[in-house]
Amino acid sequence: MDNSFGSADRRRILYFIIILFFAISIFQLFRMQILEQVAYKEKSTENSIKKIMLKAPRGIFFDRNFQVLVSNKPSYSFEITPANYNRQLNPLIEHVLGVDSNYISKRLSKSTAYSKYIPRLIKRNVDFPFVAWLEENSNKLPGASYVIEMQRDYSFGINGAHIFGYTREINYSQLKRQKNFYSLGDYVGIKGIEKTYENYLRGEKGYKLVIVNSSQRIIGKYENGKGDRAPVKGYDLILTLNSDAQKVAEKSFKHKTGSLVAIEPSTGEVLAFVSSPQYNLAEFASIMDESMIRKIIHDKNKPLFNRGTTSIYPPGSTIKMLAALIGLQEGLITKYSTIDCKGGLQYGNRFFKCHGAHGITNVIKAIEQSCNTYFYKLILDIGLDRWANYVKKFGFGKKTGIDLSEESKGIVPDSKYYDKVYGKGKWSRGNLISLGIGQGELSVTTVQLAQYAALLANFGKTKSPHVVKGYLTQDNQEFIPLKFKDVNIDFKRKYFDIVREGMFKVVNGKGTATGIKLKEYKIAGKTGTSQNPHGKDHALFIAFAPYDNPKIAIAVMVENAGFGSSFAAPIARDVIKAYLDSEKKINNQKLLSEWN
């Protein structure tokens, strides 16, 4: 009996404790959820915490000698947060901002899919008087604000529009694909190395926590900034360009249309690159008005079009050395085998003209004096598909892989190509004759010609063309080189010696470019004329120098300029001299500093 009573008593005590525990828990939950929430809500009407994202500065561009090409500078950007903004303020702000009516409405309408609490970028690079006006009238302009951001600085003497490219505000589809990193209003690389190396350049965002009042005005740091995280600047890129050569190249193409690509033969490093006409990067980078952008896009001169990598042209006589190499490699000709040029070649019912009657001509003389007859006969011996196979090995008919954001393959016709274009059995070997002198359907880019010139200069060895050498680490600024694909042509060196001798005589013998001869540096080259069915022919020239130890290979194409010797060759000479003079000066300075 006593034991039963004691057991029941203990159970009652246990039940009481359990009930008391739950009662206390329920009360605590009620206090936290209801009573304290009321208190927090009352407090939040006064102050709240806001995270402000801090954009990272993009990496800087240096040339091969560590001269700054593109940097960053601070600028003011005007933003609007729709949740706090009254659109009736649009006319007033547009007037002070100096933009067209409905400008703000158009900008805001582009981002209706996003939260109204996210600030919208309205205009970059606004002037200080506008910022001062915003500050002075901040109580009357809820939702209108400004931020200090870093924007590109192009004030270092080089435009480089088609090399550097540009950035633009991220669009909806890009943002949807990469929402883990980017946010509304961010700028991303769109063209050139800004696009190719976006992941290197963009850096890492930071943020700061601030206390804001009910009007979203910042009234102080949260916990004195203990929880803030500083942004990390993007990697600085070391480019392959030589500033002196680039400046001369850009100046040479003023008021001309065309392109130029100069390469270091042994490395594939691009020393100078021009596509003309260019657009002004400093002006273009700050444009946000779509009508102005469309005006540039639809400009009849196509300044946004990269003629160095995407325009294709018949290479003209610049391709003759390749036919000579094929003939030598295949045993169809030797250094001493000759033909008798009597002013052209009769093939069937058609006579294919030469520039003159060159008489007894070997391969070196054929290159020196650009004898068409020699190469008409040679390509007939080589045959179409064998010729096309070798031409592709030299990088034509496919992308070089240059680290810019766009490139064309060009066209290398073979029997399958002609069957498709003309129909099987509806074309003849007569089509092949024009290919022997770089005309007809064969089409190449300037960067392909530059790589070809580099292969001739360096006996069949180079690397894929590139404009970035590497990057600097963010911690200790250590240089990290990037790797690029080897390009190797397995031809005997003695065959390269033969065609190089012909190229040397083009400039230094009785050839077609003797007018660009230099005392200081021996140049080897080849002129070309690219036939244009729509107007005046295009001028071409490829070259390398110094002849005995090539440091630069170059291709120049000037649209509607006529003969390569008159227009393209002088440009190549000036860029070659500028580069070699610059490197000599830098090397002398290094020797002097080591001596001291």
Name which of 452, 429, 450 is nearest 499 in CA terms.
452
pLDDT interval class at 480 (50, 70, 90)? very high
pLDDT interval class at 34 (50, 70, 90)? low
Sequence ranges of the chain with CATH classification 3.90.1310.10: 53-239
| Better-scored residue on pLDDT, 139 or 555 | 555
| Cβ neighbours for 114, distance < 8 A, ≥ 6 positions apart | 184
How many residues in total does the chain contain?
596
Query: What's domain 243-591's architecture?
Result: 3-Layer(aba) Sandwich (3.40)
Q: Report domain 53-239's class.
A: alpha beta
Cis previous bond, 314, omega within 30: no
**CA-CA-CA-CA torsion sign (492, 497, 500, 501):** negative
Would you say residue 263 has pLDDT above 50?
yes
3-state secondary structure of 554: strand
pLDDT at 6: 56
Would you say residue 44 has pLDDT above 70?
no
pLDDT at 250: 97
pLDDT at 326: 98
pLDDT at 178: 85
* Six-digit token string for 182: 């980017």
**What is 115-167 written as a DSSP string?**
-TTS-EEEEEEE-HHHHHHHHHTGGGSTTEEEEEEEEEE--SS---HHHH--E
Phi/psi class of residue 472: alpha, beta or left (left: φ > 0; alpha: ψ in -120 to 50)?
beta
Would you say residue 46 has pLDDT above 60?
no
pLDDT tens-digit series, residues 493-511: 999 999 999 999 999 999 9
| Cβ neighbours for 379, distance < 8 A, ≥ 6 positions apart | 323, 387, 432, 433, 435, 436
| Cβ neighbours for 228, distance < 8 A, ≥ 6 positions apart | 206, 207, 208, 209, 221
pLDDT interval class at 43 (50, 70, 90)? very low
pLDDT at 1: 44
pLDDT tens-digit series, residues 155-191: 999 999 999 999 988 888 888 888 788 988 889 999 9
What phi and psi values does residue 321 have, to the nearest 5 degrees?
-65, -30
Residues of the chain with pLDDT > 70, as a percent, come to: 90
pLDDT at 16: 67
pLDDT at 126: 92
pLDDT at 124: 87
Cα separation, 277 vs 159, in Å, equals 11
| Cα 232-233-239 angle, rounded to 5 deg | 150
pLDDT tens-digit series, residues 299-324: 888 999 999 999 999 999 999 999 99
Sequence ranges of the chain with CATH classification 3.40.710.10: 243-591
pTM above 0.75? yes
Would you say residue 591 has pLDDT above 70?
yes
